[in-house]
Amino acid sequence: MNHYMNRVALNTFSYFCHACGECAGDTFSVDAGKKPSEESEPEKFYHGFVLGLLVDQAAGYVVKSNRESGFGRYDVVMEPKNGKDTAVIMEFKVLDDYDGEKELADTAKNARSCKGERITDMKNMIINGDSIDEMNKMEAESVDLIFADPPYWMRVDGVLKRVEGTDFDGCDDEWDQFESLDSYEAFTRKWLEACYRILKPDGSIWVIGGMQCIYTIGAIMQQIGFWFINDVVWHKKNPTPNFMGTRLNNSHETLIWAAKSKQSRFTFHYKTAKEFNLDTVSDEEFEKGSRKQLGSVWRIAVCSGNERLRDEEGSKLHSTQKPQEMLDRIVAISSSIGDLVLDPFGGTMTTGVAAKKMGRNYIMIERNATYCEYGKKRLDAVEFEDTPIARADFDQKSVKVSVPEMIRANALIENEWFYFRQGDAVARLMADGKLDYNGEILDMHSCAAKARGVKAKRLNGFDYWYVMRDESRVSISEIRDAYREAIQQTE
């Protein structure tokens, strides 16, 4: 509303507001500004005007103005008297710049952006819109985890040919085009700044990129203030060959994992991450229970076969759909059940699938309506799978129990022999939890080191000692687990 209309409003409706305020009773209470200021709040014009029109509705609704609605303070709230009709909340906003408002929906969208979208209203949604605009509407510090797979600006020129002469379908999509490095940098800065604002102080962000963009992205992230946790190499098991044989086969992409600051206490499920490590643990070893720290080189196949989304004609829907396995890892190790995960470049909604499957909330933003449509169908088919990985059970702190306590509970027996996996009895258990090793009294960790003859002063006894149960050796670690479970059940 312009200056002229504002003056009209102040001259006419400020009077109207005072007058109505007196006669409203309990069904029509008005408070559109007892002391209307000269220039500010021109929306009071509409506020008063609409209230005037709503007098007509007083039989069916309790109409309140500028009152607490339970969702914050709104301009007008209409509560149906019969308790059945739809309640209405109205908010008046004036934009001097009505850029791009062609339809009522555009006006509503702009109005929402004046206030900051309530994140609770947006959970588990695909938003078909521009990621920078949409993130700028959201509440600050409201998101736990962001995964971003932005345009790489691949700069693909002409048609790539396979060795046998067929065309290779690379990424030359409209959304991946930029005029210059300056424009790519400006775009990158804007969306990363928006991410920084909405990320919680203890949240974290993953950004993936190829050699074309990851250095630009990384530099801008550091300028904004992100703190790098790791960079991860996605080593593609089945990379696209360099058809011309003119340079190395480009067989990896890079992920940057960053926190909001060095002080952030970001989520990392360390032991759960081990469950994904088949890169340095063979399938066989894994089967046998062997687990090792997850490293920063992830060998994952490029998305193909049944996993790849196809359109009605059976063609690849999206040129850069990411493998589900990658997003499963990321969501599992750096967020928890109930967290909010946001992806500003949703594509086929791979991130949303991982989030929903593991009981996280999600917000997916994607500009292309077709991707949103297919992505929605994909997400609708997903259900929460209540697994130890989703719950990060491996990282739950175990109840602390001591050996003397286990002896008192008869889980271990005073005077019984301790063995290694093989060989004769080695040491005898004493009432205070220490071991008698050939007359020397040692705690079980020092005793394990000494009896095995290693240089280290201590070995974790729970990894080494066994006792006899029903003529078989049972690890004391197993006995401790069973004891813990028993006491947790009785608590």
Ligand X SMILES: C[S@@+](CC[C@H](N)C(=O)[O-])C[C@H]1O[C@@H](n2cnc3c(N)ncnc32)[C@H](O)[C@@H]1O
Alpha carbons 424 and 420: distance in angstroms, whole number: 8
Which one of 257, 371, 374, 465 is in contact with ligand X (CB under 6 A)? 371
Please report how close the Cβ of residue 368 comes to ligand X at its closest, in angstroms: 4
**Cα distance between residue 240 and residue 127, in whole Å:** 32
Single out the residue of 367, 434, 450, 480 in contact with ligand X (rule: CB under 6 A). 367
Q: How far is the CB of 171 from ligand X (least distance, A)?
A: 8
Shortest CB 147 distance to ligand X, Å: 8
Helix residue spans in 161-250 (DSSP H): 181-198, 214-224
Whole-angstrom distance, CA of residue 164 vs CA of residue 141: 52
Q: Does 16 bind ligand X (CB under 6 A)?
A: no
For residue 368, state whether it binds ligand X (rule: CB under 6 A). Answer: yes
Question: Is 188 a residue that touches ligand X (CB under 6 A)?
Answer: no
The least distance separating ligand X from the CB of residue 358, rounded to whole angstroms, comes to 16
Rule CB under 6 A: is residue 328 a binding residue for ligand X?
no
Which of 31, 130, 185, 414 binds ligand X (CB under 6 A)? It is 130
Which one of residues 321, 334, 335, 361 is an interface residue with ligand X (CB under 6 A)? 321
336 binds ligand X (CB under 6 A): no
* Position of minimal CB gap to ligand X: 347
Q: Give whichever of 367 and 450 is closer to ligand X, judged by the CB atom.
A: 367
Span near ligand X by CB under 6 A; candidates 114-122, 215-223, 226-234, 345-353: 345-353
Q: Tell the smallest beta-carbon distance from residue 68 to ligand X (Å).
A: 36
Q: Show the tokens assigned to 284.
A: 């066989």
Q: Is 329 in the site for ligand X (CB under 6 A)?
A: no
Sort 379 into a burial class: Cβ within 10 Å, 0-12 / 13-18 / 19+.
Answer: buried
| Half-sphere exposure for 365 (CA within 13 Å, toward CB) | 24
- Residues between 347 and 366 that touch ligand X (CB under 6 A): 347-348, 350, 365-366
b/e per residue 110-130 (b: at least 16 CB within 10 A): bbebeeebebeebeeebbbbe
Task: Select the residue interacting with ligand X from 44, 318, 356, 357 (CB under 6 A).
Answer: 318
Whose Cβ is closer to ligand X: residue 204's or residue 350's?
350
What is the three-class DSSP state of 232?
Answer: strand
Strand extents, DSSP E, 367-471? 417-419, 425-429, 435-437, 440-442, 466-469
The number of helices, as runs of H, and strands, as runs of E, in the chain is 16, 20
Distances, alpha carbon 170 to alpha carbons 2, 98, 162, 269, in Å: 50, 39, 11, 35
| Of 36, 42, 48, 151, the one binding ligand X by CB under 6 A | 151
Residue that the structure tokens 């040129």 belong to = 319
What is the separation, in whole angstroms, between the first and last Cα of the chain? 65
Specify the residue, 175 or 268, whose C-beta has the smaller distance to ligand X: 175
Residues interacting with ligand X, by CB under 6 A?
A: 130-131, 149, 151, 175, 318, 320-322, 345, 347-348, 350, 365-368, 371
